[in-house]
Chains A and B, each alone.
Chain A
Amino acid sequence: MTTATDVTAPAAVEPVVAPPPRRRRRTPVTWVRHGGLTTLLFFVPLLLSFGYFSWWPILRSLVLSLQQTNFLTSTWVGLANFQRVLADPLLGTAVWNTTYFSLLAVVIGFPIPILTAVFLAEMRRTRGLGSALAYLPVIIPPVVAVLLWKAFYDPSENGLFNTILGWFGVGPIAWLNDPDLVIPSLVLYATWAGFGTGVIIYLATLMTIRTELYEAAEIDGARILRRFWHVTLPQMRGILLIMLLLQLIGTFQTFTEPYIMTGGGPENRSLTILLLIYRYAFVAGDYGRATALSLLLAVALSLLSGLYMWATRRWSTS
């Protein structure tokens, strides 16, 4: 982008130096002279790659959601795929599980990185080491990490977590095998796996808060909690709102954890919306239903995002 700006810059300033007569129109020649070709040249790869890999598949999935297909022959079925998705009793289960996962992930997973970042920001000497350690889980490939945690969650007395709990006379706990604990267990893993990224982003934001604000607050007699509440949080508001939205969207698309750890079990108690889409497509071979549910999810997330933006804008202006 910088290069593009640099290239077009000399052309762009030309009119300022010598303003063209008013009746002179933009012709292809002037467009080329003003760097239009160069701009286009830089734009084309972006357009092609986004078009080919993102926008076209989105259009295709829209078409697929209205068809029944085996990729050799396709039949138009109207909104039948959507009706079948909405009539599936597992949809309610998947929506409930996913919402529960998301809410729990917000309650548990959202504050932890903020507090860790605030804590690290106060540590002047070991901040680098601390943030590196916090980021470490993110470096482990998700599949490896999930498999590791699957072993940690071994429900027998010899499982890692159950061994530790055993030292305190607790357990053994069935973890992923317990229908009531399976979602909280997955959230615990997701929090561990994702909090490093949050810490780094929050820490970077914290470093940009001007120290004068804290000094002024201190002079006014504010203690640490009031300083956090009245200075730190308001200064981080923008990034907090964005991160919360991203987390909501991300958790509503949870797939890897239940896919590898539980396969949606026990008894579909960890079946998420994306896992249901996967089952439609790759167990039932029904791409129509899979794309229909994908689109429904996309619409729901768009509405959620819109509502969220509207609500937070009101909040921030008040």
Chain B
Amino acid sequence: MTPIRRRTALALAATFTVGALAACSQGGGTPADGGGESADVDTEAAVTISVGNMPTTENPELRADFERKLEAFTEAYPNITVEPEETEWAADTWNALIAGGTMPNVISAPFTEIQSMIARQQVADVTDYLGESEVFSSLNPSVLAVAQADDRTYAVPTSAWTMGLLYNRDLFEQAGLDPDAPPQTWDEVRTAAQAIQEKTDAQGFLTMTLDNTGGWVLTTMSYAFGSTLQNEDGTEATIVNDATAGVLDYYQQLRWEDITMGSNFLVNYDDAVQLFASGQVGMFVQGADNYTNMVVKNGMDPQHFGVAPLPQQPNGLGTLSGGNLAVFSPTSTPEQLAAAVKWVEFRDFRKYTDEDIAVAEAEAAAADGVAVGEPALPVVDRSVYDQWLSWVEPYINVPRENFDLYLSTVEDVTLVPEPPVKAQELYNTLDSVVQAVLTREDADTDELLQTAQDTFQSALDLG
């Protein structure tokens, strides 16, 4: 029934808000000529903004951290009233937020979505509001480019990640493997999976298969094996290729020859996280920024969490990467945009330029049990990031020594962005390919890839 209700709400909301959105978007942050100039905004005026992504009560540590930042922000900017919301970006609710006019003034969204949001005018141009901030000048230009179109900036990148090979260090030890020397080739992954399967109660390797995650990981693996799945301008599907066929062969070997992939092949993101955090899975391909998810949210022992660079075949293209950005509602007034940008600056960037704030935040976060110093791909310049690390060094509560290989190579890895057009549809189409290979021993991989190619090509042709 959910879709009907949602659609009903959408239909209703759309009717009453399209006009309002169209009208308001003209006033919200429409740029003056040229980039980087300051917007003409009264920053002292009383203003109220709604901000998304407040952690839910199920994550008390993260929520406390958020509330503390909010309190400090309100103290620093008494004219800005912040109304926090738990609203988050999700593929299936985003259009409803837009149509219903309930998008908060600022909310976090993934890298993959920003260009289509810009094209649909669903986010405000904030170029003129960033110019005022010294902090934003430390943003890594290559990361900031993700949020730009026609020399205008429409979002602020707040975090970035690469895919990685997550592995359970404890299971590695049990299986007689060295947790400090994680597999660096896919053959080594296969051998390690066999050892874990044989010597522990856990399954050696896992791949997600549901809710577009099967396709997401297959795309990641295809990059590592040597091919993208659509051409650069997103007009042609290139699913039929040797690299992807190679990945499916690899899956087949692990599933049907080695029997190291368990027995359940309907696994979504949450299932996989729980299986890994509870020690039932030795390795799987996942975002390398999952430390907080596994340890803080799902109770995994910090010493058991391991992350390694994603292995690459000799002609591999690189590692799929992504991240999150703060996007701003086009219905915001200029004052709200200025305030919302200040909030993002305060929440995510002040720590990089102000030692006192960095130390205070890290101390409080560590006291609350929030991870400080977890492995990630920095969104600011390396020197700025290293400076921050040195400031908060006494409060780092993440065993960074366990991620040496990942941390020492993360900036040398070739980053390959997610597919530029209809990524979620591509992933959804590929889900059933992965499911077929894992549930049918006689699955014909060439035929599966050809069907997926035809299906996705017709989706691309629809425009």
Q: Which residues of A contact B432 (CB under 8 A)?
A: 264-268
Contact check, B436 vs A71: say whether CB atoms are below 8 A apart: no
* B262: Cβ under 8 A from any A Cβ: yes
Shortest distance between the CB of A81 and any CB in chain B (Å): 10
Complex Cα spacing A89 to B458, Å: 11
Complex Cα spacing A60 to B462, Å: 23
Q: Which residue of A lies closest to B463 (CB)?
A: A68
Given known contacts A72-B121, A255-B2, A266-B439, A283 and B11 CB-to-CB distance under 8 angstroms: no
Complex Cα spacing A154 to B262, Å: 11
Contact check, A72 vs B120: say whether CB atoms are below 8 A apart: yes
* A176: Cβ under 8 A from any B Cβ: yes
Q: Which A residues, 60 to 89, have Cβ-Cβ distances below 8 Å to chain B?
A: 60-61, 64, 69-72, 84, 89
Contact check, A263 vs B3: say whether CB atoms are below 8 A apart: no
Contact check, B425 vs A70: say whether CB atoms are below 8 A apart: no
Residue B7 contacts which of A72, A286, A290 (CB distance < 8 angstroms)?
A: A290
Contact check, A283 vs B439: say whether CB atoms are below 8 A apart: no
* A294: Cβ under 8 A from any B Cβ: yes
Shortest distance between the CB of B129 and any CB in chain A (Å): 22
Complex Cα spacing A262 to B209, Å: 10
Shortest distance between the CB of A59 and any CB in chain B (Å): 9
* A179: Cβ under 8 A from any B Cβ: yes
Complex Cα spacing A195 to B7, Å: 29
Q: Which residues of B contact A294 (CB under 8 A)?
A: 4, 7
Complex Cα spacing A225 to B210, Å: 48
Shortest distance between the CB of B142 and any CB in chain A (Å): 28
Q: Which residues of B contact A53 (CB under 8 A)?
A: 8, 12
The number of chain B residues touching the other chain, given as a range, is: 35 or more
* B431: Cβ under 8 A from any A Cβ: yes
Segment of B65-73, B263-271, B393-401, B408-416 engaged in the interface with chain A: B263-271
Q: Which residues of B contact A174 (CB under 8 A)?
A: 263, 439
Complex Cα spacing A176 to B209, Å: 13
* B149: Cβ under 8 A from any A Cβ: no
Q: Which residues of B contact A69 (CB under 8 A)?
A: 14
Given known contacts A71-B14, A179-B440, A263-B431, A284 and B422 CB-to-CB distance under 8 angstroms: yes
* B259: Cβ under 8 A from any A Cβ: no
* B122: Cβ under 8 A from any A Cβ: yes
Q: Which B residues, 3 to 54, have Cβ-Cβ distances below 8 Å to chain A?
A: 3-4, 6-8, 10-12, 14-15, 17-18, 21-22
* B221: Cβ under 8 A from any A Cβ: no
Q: Which residues of B contact A256 (CB under 8 A)?
A: 1-2
Q: Which residues of A contact B17 (CB under 8 A)?
A: 71
Q: Which residues of B contact A176 (CB under 8 A)?
A: 266
The total number of A-B Cβ pairs within 8 Å is 128
Q: Which residues of B contact A56 (CB under 8 A)?
A: 11-12
Q: Which residues of A contact B75 (CB under 8 A)?
A: none
* A279: Cβ under 8 A from any B Cβ: yes
Complex Cα spacing A1 to B149, Å: 60
Segment of B92-100, B152-160, B189-197, B337-345 engaged in the interface with chain A: B92-100
Q: Which residues of B contact A261 (CB under 8 A)?
A: 266
* A114: Cβ under 8 A from any B Cβ: no
Residue B3 contacts which of A177, A282, A284, A286 (CB distance < 8 angstroms)?
A: A282
Q: Which B residues, 226 to 251, have Cβ-Cβ distances below 8 Å to chain A?
A: none
* B459: Cβ under 8 A from any A Cβ: yes
Contact check, B3 vs A57: say whether CB atoms are below 8 A apart: no
Contact check, A61 vs B7: say whether CB atoms are below 8 A apart: yes
Shortest distance between the CB of B32 and any CB in chain A (Å): 23
The chain B residues found within 8 Å of chain A, CB to CB, are 1-4, 6-8, 10-12, 14-15, 17-18, 21-22, 91-92, 95, 98-99, 120-122, 209-212, 262-266, 268, 422, 424-425, 428, 431-432, 435-436, 438-440, 455, 459, 462
Beyond A178-B439, A291-B7, 20 additional contacts (C-beta under 8 Å) are A53-B12, A56-B11, A61-B11, A71-B14, A71-B21, A71-B98, A71-B99, A72-B121, A156-B263, A177-B265, A259-B2, A262-B266, A265-B431, A265-B435, A266-B266, A266-B436, A277-B3, A283-B92, A284-B424, A284-B459
Instruction: Pull 7 A–B residue pairs with CB atoms less than 8 Å apart, ordered by A.
Output: A61-B11, A71-B99, A72-B122, A266-B432, A268-B432, A282-B92, A286-B462
The chain A residues found within 8 Å of chain B, CB to CB, are 52-53, 56-57, 60-61, 64, 69-72, 84, 89-90, 154-156, 172, 174, 176-179, 253, 255-256, 259, 261-268, 274, 277-279, 281-287, 290-291, 294
The 10 A-B residue pairs with the shortest CB-CB distance in the complex, in nearest-first order: A282-B92, A60-B11, A71-B99, A263-B210, A266-B435, A57-B8, A266-B439, A278-B3, A155-B263, A156-B263
